[in-house]
Chains A and B, each alone.
Chain A
Amino acid sequence: MRTNYRWISDVSSCCCLCFFSVSPEQIKNLHKRFQQLSDNEETISRENLEKIPALANNPIRKQIIDAFFDKRNQHQNEVGAFQEIGFEQFLMVMSHFRPPTLKTTEEEREAMRKEKLRFLFNMHDTDNDGTITLEEYRKVVEELLSKSGAIGLEAAKAIADAAMLEVASTNVPHMAPDDFYEGITFEHFEQILKGLEMESRMHIRFLDVDTMTMRCGKSKS
């Protein structure tokens, strides 16, 4: 147990470096959870996460679990997927969901906003080509509606198509006949979701609420 905690302090200092700002208590809590999920292993695999009973009813479970194993969400400029993730990676994914505090400055807010949106975007853009294509988008919508029962696959498809057309017509209002709408780029994505103010809602309450804002991460990111 003692070794574990020393490791945590290592991790927390490391995470502090890479702009994650949570208190040691929160990290401790998350680490407990991590161990619980991984059966006291060093790493978590997909199966571990899929076993969580509360997730069983979530229609987009697959996308979310994928996001945990996505290297793009680790801010290391790497692409691809992990087979297993350690606690550090786990924390990094979780860090997308930290709330802003009163002390957060404007630039930090902006950075957080981008980062959160990027996370969402990556969730849709499965092949990492910088656009969400119709195929990719359809997939998400299908999964999303798969649990609602009343709506069939056809309708889901149709909804995805209609949504996509909507994006196409709003973002490129004057399309020449030969233009090719490849899919939603990140900029478009940002534009679309402006009204929703996702970034101000995309956070969850970690068990210990008092988040200490450590500014040391700024320089690196």
Chain B
Amino acid sequence: MRRCGFVHLLGSVLLIGFVSSVSCEAALTGHESNHSEHEHGSSLSGIPIVTFKWHHVETPYLVALFILVSFLAKLVIEANHHVTNIIPESALLICFGFILGGIIWGADKVQTFTLTPTVFFFYLLPQVILDAGYSMPNKLFFSNMGAILVYAVIGTCWNAASLGLSLWGCHMGGAMGDLDIGLLQYLLFGSLIAAVDPVAVIAVFEQVHVNEVLFIMVFGESLLNDGVTVVLFNVFDAFVSLGGAKINAVEIIKGIISFFVVAFGGSLVGFVFGLLISLLTRCTKNIQIIEPGFVFVLGYLAYLTAEMLSLSAILSIVFCGMCCQKYINANMDENSVNTVRYAMKVFANGSETIIFVFLGISAIDKTLWVWNTGFILLTLLFVIVYRFIGVFFLTWILNKFRLVPLEVIDQVIMSYGGLRGAVAYGLAMMLDENKIKEKNLMVCTTLIVVYFTVIIQGITMKPLVTWLKVRRAAVSELTLIEKVQNKVFDHMLVAIEDISGQIGHNYMRDKWNYFEEKWMSKVLMKPSARKNRDRLFKVFHQLNLKDAMSYVAEGERRGSLEFIRNDHAYIDFKKKFDDDYYEEVMPDIMADMSDDHGEIRDPVPSVSLEMHEQNMKAVRDSEDVNTHHLLQQHLYRGRKQHRHRYSRSHFDVNKDEGEVQEVFQRTMRSRLESFKSAKMGVAPPKSLSKHPKKEQQQKMSNGKSLDKTRSYYSGDEDFEFSEGDSASGFNPSYNSMPMRVTYRAGAGIENLGFMPDLDSGPSVQLPRWLEDSSSVVPSQRAQVQLPWTPSSLRRLAPLRTSTRSTDSFMMADAPPNAQQIDLPPPPSPPTLLLLKFLV
């Protein structure tokens, strides 16, 4: 969690940077002269000890304060769940903006903070959209692409045109009194207010959890209609400048062509940048600390490049995020991926908050308000009515082609979810006052439409969804079996299409997947990353990881991790350890060992995290957090002091996670051992328990020098063992040796689960058994839920096909009573359950 906090901090700092340059414009310029005089005066009277240089820091200070205040507002709002359950956060933030704006107004008598288009489009919007693209469910999006495009292109055009024309009609009819607005200007206004706003949609729909098809429809539309909006806005803006007389067919055709150029060009730019990011992350292994930065910088560059070429910037950054998500997630280090995810959320969420607060503040500006009842109310009415008409008409057409038709309820929600937001406001602010006389009226109307849709529709959305019984999304995580079934299912659909000789969605998707697998992945992905990419495998791995963690937690609960080793040899050793004989020899060796540790352990970076997959949910999982906490507190305290060093290029904070990983590997290895021996049909010999005793005595008498050398190799041998001994079955002496050494090593520092990777230099190598993907140990997730007392083994009896393994289990589980010491017996390891279950 410390990491999270760190990223958060980083995010806020960067955000400040983003906004600072902008708020220069926004910030006040009033008391300049005062301050400079004051400073000047004080400098004359000798060396000042403390000077108050407010003006020096004024702008960044205000920006930072502003951000702080918005975040605090969010904090307060989110703390009251009973309020946010009824009123969506975005609406509350806007209301908070009203209050804040009122305060500023009261203090300054002029609105000093307003959302300028530059601030909005260059510093606040990109990260929200990048996040949307990066976390876009690609499969869902592309399988509904057709419908989304229809809504985004035709729907938006329809909205713009119908709204403009109707308003003009009403104007002609005299409903609005005396206004200096022509037809083209109405159309311009229509085009800026037609587009559904991604920020507002995300904010509201995120809290409602409608089903995924419905969500992707609204969300996809809100993202893609930007291309249309930009073109319509530019075209009509140009028309307004040209004047009605000069518009001819050529200009109109140019406008239509420019639509395609803007939309496809923008997407192409994004695509290129996405590929660029993917390629770059292939070779950032050595600069892991800044590799997440590439994603943000290149994403932002994609946005700016498109803007520079007057293409659709939003489309560009969306496609950039969508293209690269898969490859960067595979290429980058797990920590970097998590950092990207967190930082992306920090940016997006932060600037979303700021946008809404800004929207609220903007309202409190007397110069802005020009009231025209007819214009405002009619706009509001038409916006809603035409949205409904458009959606219903287009859906009616689409349903003729869709395999699964959209139901009426879904259509209602889609229409009702047509929220307008900051994009419309930003565009309205960009209007040129010289060309459009009634700019303030338009801005004011836009604001009212935004407030109405975000606040009123946002509040009523949830009750409406409940009342109409819209299918909700399942919030739960997919289980392993569901993943498997999903995959079976996909393949089946493709096969049926193949057999029936059709070329349908599934066929296309299959072909694309094949192409992607064959070419794109090869170019864009690291070879090592390609291996672990399978989604199924990932879930499986996550489960395993969770097991390992809860396993450790279990150990902590019981006071030690000893049972992790799960070796019968160990029990014996424990007993032996109590003997006086050892107590005498121990101290010297221990001292030696711990010294070695200090030196050797220090340069070792965190264990390779290639296999370490962990999603954010898992991190937040309280249980895991607990484990982390426990580990941090108790496990490695002895060695912690060696690590207090500052380095900009090595991120040591999360060392404990590496240690968890280590414990995980250890668990896995021991599981694998018994698993393998079981598979070979060789039950772990019961004589094993006798061996270590003997050996120990030998070694001990030989003195510590021998022991030390052994300790150097222990890690290596251990790995060798787990990988290479399947032919020889179970080799007790081989196995027990490292165990013993390790135990002693740990004895001094209350860390039983840890074994120094003495052979793993700065570049940690994966143990071979881990690299070999075939030797993955089964998940024991289910077992975690089952008690692993001996009586429980019958529970899985149906899955058992051999009685032999049960015997071995019994034997393993019941250590000779004579050797019991006062410690409670370690829980019988789940591995054995597994073993039996697998045979």
Contact = CB atoms under 8 A, between A and B. Distances in A.
Task: Enumerate the 6 nearest inter-chain pairs by beta-carbon distance, A residue then B residue, closest first.
Answer: A152-B774, A165-B782, A158-B778, A162-B779, A163-B481, A54-B498
Contact of B514 (A57, A141, A164, A206): A57
A193 B485 contact: yes
B491 A144 contact: yes
B531 A158 contact: no
A120 B490 CA distance: 12
Given A150-B537, A153-B774, A169 B785 contact: yes
Contact of B492 (A49, A57, A123, A200): A123
21 contacts: A33-B500, A54-B507, A58-B494, A63-B492, A64-B496, A99-B403, A123-B492, A144-B488, A144-B491, A151-B773, A153-B774, A155-B540, A155-B776, A158-B777, A160-B484, A162-B780, A166-B481, A170-B479, A177-B791, A193-B485, A200-B404
A161 interface: yes
A212 interface: no
Contact of B404 (A60, A94, A99, A140): A99
Interface stretch (B100-108, B385-393, B558-566, B793-801): B793-801
Interface residues of A, number: 71
Interface string A123-158: 100000000001000001100110010111111011
A142 B612 CA distance: 24
Of B481, B501, B781, the most chain A CB neighbours within 10 A belong to B481
Nearest to B213: A200
A1 interface: no
B211 to A, nearest CB: 9
A196 B496 contact: no
A177 B534 contact: no
A55 B777 contact: no
Nearest to A103: B405
Interface in B742-797: 773-783, 785-786, 791-792, 794-797
B676 to A, nearest CB: 9
Interface stretch (A9-17, A75-83, A178-186, A213-221): A178-186
Of A57, A120, A158, the most chain B CB neighbours within 10 A belong to A158
Given A145-B536, A161-B778, A204 B496 contact: yes
B481 A167 contact: yes
A100 interface: yes
A163 B785 CA distance: 14
B480 A162 contact: yes
B534 A58 contact: no
Contacts of B495: 55, 58, 60-61, 64
Judged by DSSP, the binding face of B is helix
A159 interface: yes
Of A140, A144, A148, A154, the most chain B CB neighbours within 10 A belong to A154
B472 to A, nearest CB: 12
Nearest to B544: A162
B165 interface: no
A198 interface: yes
Contact of B779 (A49, A150, A158, A182): A158
B222 to A, nearest CB: 24
Interface in A95-133: 97, 99-102, 120, 123
B504 interface: yes
A204 B504 contact: yes
B484 to A, nearest CB: 6
B467 interface: no
A95 B543 CA distance: 38
Nearest to B792: A177
Contacts of B777: 158
B837 interface: yes
A163 to B, nearest CB: 4
Interface string B72-114: 0000000000000000000000000000000000000000000
B265 to A, nearest CB: 32
A46 interface: no
A178 B797 CA distance: 8
Interface string B610-654: 000000000000000000000000000000000000000000000
Contacts of B403: 99, 203, 205
B798 A181 contact: yes
Interface of B: 399-401, 403-405, 474, 476, 478-482, 484-489, 491-502, 504-507, 514, 530-534, 536-537, 540, 543, 773-783, 785-786, 791-792, 794-799, 837-838
Given A204-B497, A204-B500, A58 B491 contact: yes
Contacts of A100: 404
A30 interface: yes
Contacts of B782: 162, 165-166, 168-169
Nearest to B491: A60
Nearest to A153: B774
Nearest to B799: A134
Nearest to A102: B405
Given A101-B405, A205-B403, A159 B485 contact: no
A198 B507 CA distance: 18
Contacts of A166: 479-481, 781-782
Contacts of A203: 403-404
B500 A150 contact: no
Contacts of A161: 778-779, 799, 837-838
Contacts of A206: 500, 502
Given A101-B405, A102-B399, A196-B485, 19 more contacts: A30-B500, A60-B488, A94-B500, A100-B404, A148-B537, A150-B530, A151-B536, A151-B774, A155-B776, A158-B777, A159-B480, A159-B537, A177-B795, A178-B797, A180-B797, A195-B478, A203-B404, A204-B500, A205-B505
B491 A59 contact: yes
B500 A175 contact: no
B494 to A, nearest CB: 6
Nearest to A161: B778
Interface string A58-78: 111101100010000000000
Contacts of B487: 144
